[in-house]
Structure 1
Amino acid sequence: MLPLIPLVVGWMLVSKSTKSVQKHANQHQLSSVATPNLPSQNSASLAHSSLRAVKKFKDDAVALIFDDKRRQGIQDISLDEEVLSEEQLAANRRFKFSILLFASIATSAVIYAPLVLLHIPFLLYLSFPFYKEGIQSLLVERRITTRLVDAILGMGALAYTPFNPPILIVGSAGSVGVSYINKLIAKTKNGARQNLTNLLGPQPQTVWVVQGDMEMEIPFEKVRIGDVMVIDAGMMIPVDGRIQKGVGSIDQHKLTGEAQPAEKGVGDAVFAATVVLSGKLYIEVEKTGEETAAAQIGHILNETKDFTSSVQVRGRDIADRAAAPTLALSALSLPMVGANRALAILFSGVGYHMQILGPLSVLNFLQLLAHQGILIKDGRALEQVRDIDTVVFDKTGTLTLEQPHVGAIHRYNGYSETDILTYAAAAEHRQTHPIAKAIQLSADERQLSLPAISDAAYEVGYGIKVHLDQKLIRVGSDRFMTMEEVTVPAELQSIANSAHDQGHSLVYVAIDDHLGGVLELHPTIRPEAKAMVEALKRRGVEMYIISGDHERPTRALAEDLGIDRYFAETLPEHKADLIDQLQTEGRSVCFVGDGINDSIALKKANVSVSLRGASTIATDTAQVILMDQTLNQLEELFVISEHFESNMEVNLYTTIVPGLVIIGGAFLGMVGYGGSIVLFIGGLVAGLVNTALPLFRTQVDGKVQ
Structure 2
Amino acid sequence: MTDVLADPAEPVELAIGGMTCAACAARVERKLNKLEGVTATVNYATEHASVALAAPVPVRRLIDQVESAGYQAREITRDDDAGDRPDRVRALWRRLVVALLAGVPLADLSITLALVPSLRFPGWQWVLLALTVPVVTWCAWPFHAKALRAARHGTGSMDTLVSLGVVAASGWSVYTMFARSADAHSEGVWGLILQPAGSMYLDVAAGVTIFVLAGRMFEARAKHTAGGALRALARIGARDVVVLDENGGERRIPVTGLRAGDRFVVRPGDTVATDGVVETGACAIDASAMTGESQPVEVAAGDTVVGGTVALGGRLVVRAERVGAGTQLAQLVRLVERAQSDKAAVQRLADRIASVFVPVVLVLALLTLGGWLLGGAPAEKAVSCALAVLIIACPCALGLATPTALLVASGRGAQLGVFIKGHQALESAKAIDTVVLDKTGTLTAGAMSVAALEVADGYSRATVLAAAAAVENASEHGVGRAIVELARAELGTVGEVEDFRALSGLGVSGRVDGREVRVGSARLVRAEAGAIPSVLESRRKHWEAEGKTAVAVAVDDQVCAVFALADTVRPSAAGAVAELRALGLRTVMLTGDNESTARAVAAEVGVDEVIAEVLPADKASVIARLRSEGRVVAMVGDGINDGPALAGADLGMALVSGTDVAVGACDLILMRTDLAVVPAAVRLARATLRTIRGNLRWAFGYNIAALPLAAAGLLNPLIAGAAMALSSLFVVSNSLRLRRFEQENGTPDAVSTVDKRVSAAH
Output the TM-score relative to the length of structure 1. 0.57
Deviates more, 1:395-404 or 1:500-509: 500-509
Amino acid at match of 1:375: F
Question: What is the Cα deviation at residue 584 of structure 1?
Answer: 3.3
Does the aligned pair in 1 maintain the 2:420–2:669 contact within 8 Å? yes
CA distance, structure 2, for counterparts of residue 406 and residue 584 of structure 1 = 41
**Number of the residue aligned with 2:52:** none
2:597 alignment partner, SS class = helix
Corresponding residue for residue 438 of structure 2: 394
Aligned to 1:369: 413
Give the letter aligned to residue 160 of structure 1.
A
1:525 aligns with one of 569, 575, 592: 569
CA distances 1:54-99 after superposition (whole Å, capped 9, x unpaired):
xxxxxxxxxxx99xxxxxxxxxxxxxxxx99989845889977977
Aligned pair partner of 1:333 in 358, 368, 372: 368
User: Does the C-alpha gap of structure 1 residues 98 and 403 become closer, same or farther in structure 2, counting only changes over 3 Å?
Assistant: closer
In structure 2, the CA distance between the partners of 1:321 and 1:554, relative to structure 1 (3 Å rule), is: farther
Contact 1:373 1:626 in 2 (8 A): yes
State the partner residue of 1:9. Answer: none
Q: Tell me the equivalent position of 1:486.
A: 529
Which residue of 2 is the match for residue 453 of structure 1?
A: 495
3-state DSSP class of the match of 1:628? coil
- The aligned runs of 1:102-117 (5 Å cut-off) are 113=133
Tell me the distance in 1 between the aligned counterparts of 2:502 and 2:668.
41
1:379 aligns with 2:423: yes
Structure-2-length-normalised TM-score: 0.54
CA gap 1:511/1:125 in 2 versus in 1, 3 angstroms: farther
Cα displacement string for residues 595-643 of structure 1 (whole angstroms, at most 9, x for unaligned residues):
1221222223222212121111222332222222121222223333343
Instruction: Output the CA distance in 2 between the equivalents of 1:648 and 1:437.
Output: 50
Q: Secondary structure at the match of 1:347?
A: helix
C-alpha change, 1:473 and 1:191, in structure 2 (3 Å) is same
Local SS of the residue matching 1:544:
strand
Q: How does 1:193-342 map to 2 (within 5 A)?
A: 309-310=344-345, 312-313=347-348, 315-316=350-351, 330-334=365-369, 335-336=371-372, 338-342=382-386
Q: Which amino acid aligns with 1:389?
A: D
In 2, are the aligned partners of 1:591 and 1:605 still within 8 Å (CA)? Answer: yes
Instruction: For residue 511 of structure 1, report the CA deviation from its aligned partner.
Output: 0.9
Counterpart secondary structure, 2:441: coil
The residue that corresponds to 1:153 in the other structure is: 161
> How far off is 1:537 after superposition?
2.1
Shift in CA distance, 689/480, structure 1 to aligned 2, threshold 3 Å: same
Structure 1 range deviating more: 100-109 or 643-652: 100-109
SS of residue paired to 1:355: helix
Of 414, 429, 435 in structure 1, the residue corresponding to residue 479 of structure 2 is 435
- Structure 1's 22 and 31: CA in aligned 2 closer, same or farther, altered over 3 A? farther
Structure 1 gaps of 5+ residues are 1-18, 34-64, 67-82, 136-147, 193-306
**Aligned pair count?**
509
Counterparts of 1:131 and 1:443, CA distance in 2: 79
2:465 maps to which of 421, 424, 434: 421
Q: Structure 2: how far apart are the matches of 1:126 and 1:497?
A: 79
Tell me if structure 1 keeps the 8 A contact 2:587–2:607.
yes
SS in 2 for 1:692: helix
The counterpart of 1:622, out of the listed 666, 671, 678, is 666
Residue 582 in 1 paired to residue 626 in 2?
A: yes
Alignment-derived partner of residue 726 in structure 2 = 682
Q: Counterpart in 2 of 1:216?
A: none
1:25-67 per-residue CA deviation (whole Å, 9 max, x = no partner) reads: 99x999999xxxxxxxxxxxxxxxxxxxxxxxxxxxxxxx99x
Task: Note closer, same or farther for the CA distance 1:439–1:128 as it changes in structure 2 (3 Å cut).
Answer: farther
What do the CA deviations read for 1:79-121 (whole angstroms, capped 9, x no partner)?
A: xxxx999898458899779779868977998899479769999
Instruction: Give the counterpart letter for 1:486 in structure 2.
Output: A
Q: Find the residue that maps to 1:396 and give its secondary structure.
A: helix
SS in 2 for 1:687: helix
Query: How far apart are 1:394 and its partner, in Å?
Result: 1.5
Rounded Cα–Cα distance in structure 1 between residues aligned with 2:651 and 2:385: 47
Aligned AA for 1:313?
A: R
Rounded Cα–Cα distance in structure 2 between residues aligned with 1:172 and 1:611: 44
Deviation at 1:692, TM superposition (A): 2.8
Answer with 643-652 or 691-700: which moved more. 691-700
Output the amino acid matched with 1:487. G
Q: Identify if the C-alpha distance between structure 1 residues 22 and 467 changes in structure 2 by more than 3 Å, giving closer, same or farther.
A: farther
Letter in 2 for 1:378: G
Q: Aligned AA for 1:516?
A: C
Q: CA deviation at 1:424?
A: 1.9
Distance in 1, matches of 2:353 and 2:486, equals 60
The separation in 1 between residues aligned to 2:571 and 2:693, in whole angstroms, is 37
Match of 2:270 in 1: none
Unaligned runs of 5+ in 2: 15-44, 47-58, 67-72, 103-129, 172-201, 234-341, 373-380, 750-762
1:438 to partner: Cα distance: 1.9
- SS of 2:627 mapped into structure 1: helix
Q: Does 1:537 align with 2:574?
A: no
C-alpha change, 1:615 and 1:419, in structure 2 (3 Å) is same
Q: Which amino acid aligns with 2:392?
A: S
Identify if the C-alpha distance between structure 1 residues 354 and 438 changes in structure 2 by more than 3 Å, giving closer, same or farther.
farther
Letter in structure 1 aligned against 2:490 = L
Query: Map of 1:545-624 to 2, 5 A cutoff?
Result: 545-624=589-668
In structure 2, distance between residues paired with 1:562 and 1:30: 43
Matches of 1:493 and 1:480, distance apart in 2: 14
SS at match of 2:442: coil
Matches of residues 506-521 of structure 1 in structure 2 within 5 Å?
Answer: 506-521=550-565
What secondary structure, in the 3-state scheme, does the structure 1 residue paired with 2:584 have? coil
Q: For residue 500 of structure 2, what is the amino acid of its counterpart?
A: Y
Q: 1:406 to 1:103 in 2, by over 3 A?
A: closer
Q: Residues 129 and 505 of structure 1: is their aligned pair in 2 closer, same or farther, counting only changes over 3 Å?
A: farther
Amino acid at match of 1:682: L
Distance in 1 between residues matched to 2:357 and 2:679, nearest whole Å: 37
Closer/same/farther in 2, CA of residues 669 and 127 from structure 1, 3 Å limit: closer
Return closer, same or farther for 1:547/1:317 CA change in 2, 3 Å cut-off.
Answer: farther
Contact 1:654–1:684, Cα closer than 8 Å, also in 2: no
**CA separation in 2, counterparts of 1:660 and 1:329?**
13
Give CA-to-partner distance per residue, 1:469-522, whole Å, 9 cap, x none. 653433345676589x43354989999899778765443322123222332323
C-alpha distance in 2, partners of 1:129/1:499? Answer: 77
Return the index of the structure with the highest Cα Rg: 2
Alpha-carbon distance change, 697 to 339 in structure 1, aligned in 2, over 3 angstroms: same
Equivalent position SS for 2:618: helix
Shift of 1:689: 2.6
For the Cα contact (< 8 Å) 2:552–2:561, is it kept in 1?
yes
Tell me whether 315-324 or 553-562 shows the greater mean CA deviation: 315-324
Q: Which amino acid aligns with 2:688?
A: F
Report the AA paired with residue 631 of structure 2.
R
CA-CA distance at 1:542 after TM superposition: 0.9
Amino acid in the other structure paired with 2:581: K
Root-mean-square deviation (Å): 5.4
Sequence identity (%):
25
Deviation at 1:680, TM superposition (A): 0.6
2:215–2:726 contact (8 Å) kept in structure 1:
no
* CA distance in structure 2 between the partners assigned to 1:396 and 1:32 by the alignment: 38
Cα distance change on mapping 1:650 and 1:428 into 2, 3 Å: same
